[in-house]
Structure 1
């Protein structure tokens, strides 16, 4: 399911003129490093990532996805976004790569 989520999110980023540079996930959240156009509001990017991925993941993994819902929603309504303009991308990628994936 996480692999399919990454593919969907890569496609969403590309359609919006961005690039998903790093992806990893845990049982209850994902970590993304996204390069996106400066005129694209982060809220639009996140809403599209969540909306499109929820649609396809529910469709493809209905039984499994049902166990991980936030009420009736696939994703929590909240998100955390931070700019990493000054940090070396290598450090951010390593952080995301080191996150624990579910067994």
Structure 2
């Protein structure tokens, strides 16, 4: 990942990078190459609406990875929910025959859970050292 400047809003400067992983329900290997390309389009589209930026996207037959430049006006769970629900609807609508091979009835496309971790920036030990070494007020 190349260095990106922090973004600005009216009252903040921020640089929040999050790595999401969404796994298919029952970890079924349902995602094909055309599905992955459609997922890429949808992730970019939904992220833009949430003022987030996709830095990287990829996936395999049973999961996807998203590296997101996250806008702090959002909650992590809301972003994950929007991304998962919109992509699941699109997959079921655009690839019904492929989906029916793996899921019947109202079974969800994605697992109920997801993985998210902060990414990038200085290592924790460096941040702790920096904060600890700040000057004390001079009374």
Structure 1: which 4+ aligned runs deviate by more than 6 Å? Answer: none
More strand by share: 2
More helix by share: 1
Give the TM-score taking structure 2 as reference length: 0.58
Partner residue, 1:51: 85
Partner residue, 1:65: 99
Q: State the Cα distance separating 1:50 from its structure 2 match.
A: 0.5
Q: Can you give the 5+ residue segments of structure 1 that lack an aligned partner in the other structure? A: 88-103
Partner residue, 2:36: 2
Alignment root-mean-square deviation, CA? 1.7
Q: How many residues get paired?
A: 87
Give the TM-score taking structure 1 as reference length: 0.77
Partner residue, 1:33: 67
Aligned mate of 1:84, from 108, 112, 119: 119
